[in-house]
Structure 1
Amino acid sequence: MNRMRTLRMVVRHELRALIADRSLALVCALLIALIGYAFYNGLTATENRDRTVASVLDAERKAVEANVQTLHRIETGQQRPGPFANPANPATIGGGGAGRYAVIPTSGLAPVAIGQGDMIPNYYAIGYGSKVSFMYDSEIESPWNLLNGHFDLAFLIVFLLPLLVFALSYNLLSSEREAGTLRMLLSQPLDLATLLTGKVAVRATAVIGIAAILPVILLLIFRPEARGAEQIAGVALWMGLVAVYGLFWFALAFLINSLGRSSAFNALSLIACWTLIVLVAPVLLNLAVGMAEPAPSRTELTNRTLAIKAENLRSYDKLFHGDYNYVAKPDALLAKNGRIEMPPRARATFLADRDMDAKIDDLLKRFDDQLRAQQRLIDRLGPISPAVIAYEGFSSLAGNSSRRYLAFKAQVDAFHDHWRAYFVPRILGGRAMGEAELRSLPRWTWRELPAGETRADTRWRIGLLLTLTAALLVAGVLRLRRYSIA
């Protein structure tokens, strides 16, 4: 009871001292400004992606109506069909003329971490073309590489929050000792642990409170999607992850201050720790993952793709150079009794794309398997850097993580197979498309990752950071027993 009373006295005194010298106010004001700017960047990026998704879905709706109207004009003799713009031709519709898109929506918490949001596609135009032509034409970036490129809330918390913590906490005891006041303070019924705890508590409450609460207030004001009941748990986990990450750095400052060295030594030690934890360790982790689970060669993919294309050109040479009688007889393109004459080149293109995927599917599967293996390895080795632990958690809560992107690719892959299977009998059998079929083509549906998995992963990260924080505090308390005030 006496210890708690003493702690409250230390807190009140420290708060008055910080208010008087304005250091806490300056740091908090800077943090508020940085949060506002970071949130603005994240919100802008999210709104841009939302507009993109809305525009492609609108384009899909308009494409359906345009195909129906064109088909009606052709059937009534108002317009002649073309070989590459005939909605009755299943090859035209299946090859991309339907305007179908597979899209991944942004989550309610998307503004808190851009993550891979501006690097990965949030939509794919669906056709029967080979997957290699539209799903494997870009690299998936590691969370750490992307972390260096975006000033969002996740960047601010992971990178800059520790520096603000250091600015307030590098000289908690050393300044008292250097000013000659520490001996006087300890002549009172006050021990070093209580004194240091009170000093840390004032600073941690202010800094972590702002870092954890202000973004949530902004999110609830400017992001209506974050106000739903399903999002509340994610918001709470975001606050918890920010809080424990901030506590980790305050615990580190507690430990460094307990060593009894000079203010300059403390500052240099904290910066060195920040460099190792935030800069060096994640880079080493990235290199280790790349060496342990190297991705298949892009050169191999390109060379194999070119070889298969050349082989397909030879296999379907007759179709590619078939009789184009519709040039002289455009009425040959008209549907008759539910049947349509397929242009040879359209049939050849469909068969070549189908063969491409059949022959290269094993290599594409290796790409996806390797990306999943890399993510699993990052999850296992992530504890070497609290920065990686926190950033991966922020990206997961925001819905901009590697795991969600890989799920999107897997679902697009399955939908692409379903789309192609739908058109196989129509293209090979010469079955014409009617208005009813144009309106009832297979539609894309995104299946969100189970919220329970994301929450469990975040809780694991919070628990891990709490464990590291507790270890630092215990080490600091033990070290204080050997603290010299001379």
Structure 2
Amino acid sequence: MTGMIRRLFAIEVMALVRQPLAVAVYAALFAAMLAAALVGAEQVKRTHAALATIATEQTEAISAAKSAAARYAKPSPLRIEYHRDPTDAFGYMNYFLVTHAVKPPLPLAGLATGQADLQPSHIRIDFNKIFPDTAFDLGNLHALDLGSFDLAFVLIYLVPLGLIAIGASRLTGEQDSGVLRMIAAQPVTLRRVALAKASALAIVSLVAIVGGMLLALLIAGSLGSLVILGVALLVAMWVLFWVALTLLAASFWRGTVGSVVMLVLGWAVLTVLAPTIAALAVRTALPAPSRIAYIDRSRAAMDAFYRDETAVHAAWLGRFPHDESRSTEMLKSPEVKRFARDAFYRDALKSDRETFVARDLAVAGATDWQRLMSPAMMLDGTLQAAAGNDVRHQLAFVAAADAYDERLRRWFEPLALTNAADPHRSCPDCPGRLNFTRYDDVPRFVPAPDHGAVMRAIGFGLLYLASVTALTIIWAVRRLHVWPA
């Protein structure tokens, strides 16, 4: 019996690799995966190029400030205002400082681009903005109409269709042609025959699809991370899930056409209908806060500030210990006026800001639960997490940028206030104030990607897909206990 099953398995494998339709489908899928990998690699390349440009701009800005400091340290009849003086702490932080919070792409960033076109990979720290990420510009919106063609799209949408085309007729085609009756006359059970056919389809498909994906990533230059092992297992389980579905569809014995219809409907429900319903449910249950209301409250905060500027300035300056005579003069300084105004606006709008963040976190949490509705949704979310382009990574990056903005403000404030308290020039005959030349000491943003979150996401996604696949196989095997009439 075992020898017969082994021979049947070998026959099925040889028939599959020689079948023109199967060869054409696997070749088409590899071509699509290669094209998608190259598109993703190009996008990652553009991001790296943008970050390299930013790093160059920051270096050049520091060099320019140092050159200006050298010029302004020499006696000259020229006198410059603080907003043109890079040797003044307050002037430098507001008008000459060039620094960014950056989110370098993870090694597999091209795997699933997700909302990367809508999510900044860098945020300019601009003290003219109350919150740093409001300085981000989306760019040309017309380029975002169709989204990005990436490996996640090929794996989630095209691979199942290819497996349906190849596997839908593995049993039902023999039923339609009458060959199944000849097999039934042999001393072998239907379950063994079905599992031999499904195993052959699974082995060939795993080699063609998982191997093709790894080869495509290798050609695109994106195969450089151990995370790819987890992704390969995830995709392998996704392939096995669809092989199990073809086996389950065959167990209803509706013929080849009936199996194809059931599988295509299942594909549409899992990959199109379920995500659409989930997105609609999230938008209905968790409506986005009104941006117009936020703008209106920002105007109200502005009105409240200008109603009594002096009181706001004094309240803010009261946080710092200064003698009374100096504090009176400092209230008139541009440093105190600017710092007090920014702090007032930030405090006034902080609750609104937290509302937007809380809503984003709630959406992310709801989406995590909704992914249990569909293996396709689970795979999509896990691939985005592995690529570092999911919502949680972006929210963490924006929070880190905001914390960096606050850290810089706290770093510059005492320097600027010291100068405001004693606004003398270090060199009375020099154009520059020369009270700040510590350009290399300004804190830099240090990216801190959460690799642990990536591995946890892959582990949970793999466990979920393995469970769903096992249940599907058990269901199909239980149905395949007797030969069809």
TM-score tier after normalising by the smaller chain length: 0.7 to 0.9
CA offsets per residue over residues 271-321 of structure 1, 9 Å max, x none?
A: 11111110111111122223333332222212112222343345449999x
Residue of 147, 167, 170 corresponding to 1:169: 167
- 1:22 maps onto 2:40 in alignment: no
Find out whether 1:124 has 2:123 as its counterpart: yes
Tell me, yes or no, if the aligned pair for 2:88 and 2:435 is still in contact at 8 Å. Answer: no
Query: Are residues 275 and 218 of structure 1, via their aligned partners in 2, closer, same or farther at CA, if it must alter by over 3 Å?
Result: closer
CA distance in 1, matches of 2:45, 2:236: 27
1:461 Cα shift?
1.1
Q: Deviations over 1:335-385 (max 9, x none)?
A: xxxxxx999667544432222111111111121122112212211221101
Query: Where do residues 32-431 of structure 1 align in structure 2 (5 Å cutoff)?
Result: 32-77=30-75, 80-132=79-131, 134-135=133-134, 149-220=147-218, 222-223=220-221, 226-227=223-224, 231-232=225-226, 234-316=227-309, 348-430=337-419
Change (3 A) 1:134 1:235: closer
CA distance in 1, matches of 2:145, 2:5: 39
Shift of 1:147: 12
Alpha-carbon separation, structure 1, partners of 2:257 and 2:37: 34
Q: What displacement does 1:187 show?
A: 1.0
User: Deviation at 1:136?
Assistant: 8.0
Q: SS of the residue aligned with 1:102?
A: strand
Query: Aligned AA for 2:280?
Result: L
Q: How far apart, in 1, do the equivalents of 2:418 and 2:24 lie?
A: 74
The equivalent residue for 2:426 is none
Partners of 1:130 and 1:283 in 2: how far apart?
36
TM-score normalised by structure 1 residue count: 0.86
Could you tell which deviates more after superposition, 366-375 or 9-18? Answer: 9-18
Q: Deviations over 1:250-288 (max 9, x none)?
A: 111110011111211111111111111101111111222
After superposition, what is the alpha-carbon deviation per residue over 1:58-81, rounded to whole angstroms, capped at 9, x for unaligned?
111111111111122122246653
1:158–1:387 Cα contact (<8 Å) kept: yes
1:468 match: secondary structure: helix
Rate the CA distance shift 1:80–1:69 in 2: closer, same or farther, 3 A: farther
Q: Deviations over 1:123-157 (max 9, x none)?
A: 11113333446348789xxxxxx997221001110
SS at match of 1:352: helix
Alpha-carbon distance in structure 2 between the residues aligned to 1:466 and 1:373: 27
Q: What secondary structure does 2:123 align onto? A: strand
Aligned length: 452
1:375-421, Cα deviation, whole Å (9 max, x unpaired):
12211221101111001111111111111111111111111111111
Moved more, 213-222 or 96-105: 213-222
Q: What TM-score results when the alignment is normalised by the length of structure 2?
A: 0.86
- Separation in 1, partners of 2:165, 2:112: 25
Summarize the Cα distance change of 1:197–1:208 in structure 2 as closer, same or farther, 3 Å threshold: same
Q: Check conservation: 1:28, 1:206, Cα contact below 8 A.
A: no
CA contact (8 A) 1:128 1:350 kept: no
| Larger mean Cα displacement after TM superposition, 301-310 or 458-467 | 301-310
Give the direction of change, closer, same or farther, for the CA distance of 1:381–1:367 in structure 2 (3 Å limit). Answer: same
* Kept after mapping to 2: 8 A contact 1:127/1:420: no
When residues 316 and 175 of structure 1 are mapped into structure 2, their CA distance, relative to the original with a 3 A threshold, is same
- The secondary structure found in structure 2 opposite 1:112 is coil
Find out whether 1:447 has 2:482 as its counterpart: no
Q: Which amino acid in the other structure matches residue 438 of structure 1?
A: Y
Note closer, same or farther for the CA distance 1:349–1:244 as it changes in structure 2 (3 Å cut). Answer: same
What letter corresponds to residue 254 of structure 2 in structure 1?
R
Say whether the 8 Å CA contact 1:113–1:154 is kept in structure 2.
Answer: yes
Structure 2 stretches of 5 or more lacking a match?
139-143, 314-329, 421-432
* 1:215-234 deviations in Å (ceiling 9; x for gaps): 3334345437x53xxx31x1
Equivalents in 1 of 2:434, 2:249: separation in Å?
Answer: 74
Letter in structure 2 aligned against 1:119: L
C-alpha distance after superposition, 1:421-450 (max 9, x if no partner): 12223334435664642221121111221x
Following superposition, the deviation at residue 11 of structure 1 comes to 2.2
Identity in percent? 25
Moved more, 275-284 or 108-117: 108-117
Shift of 1:8: 2.3
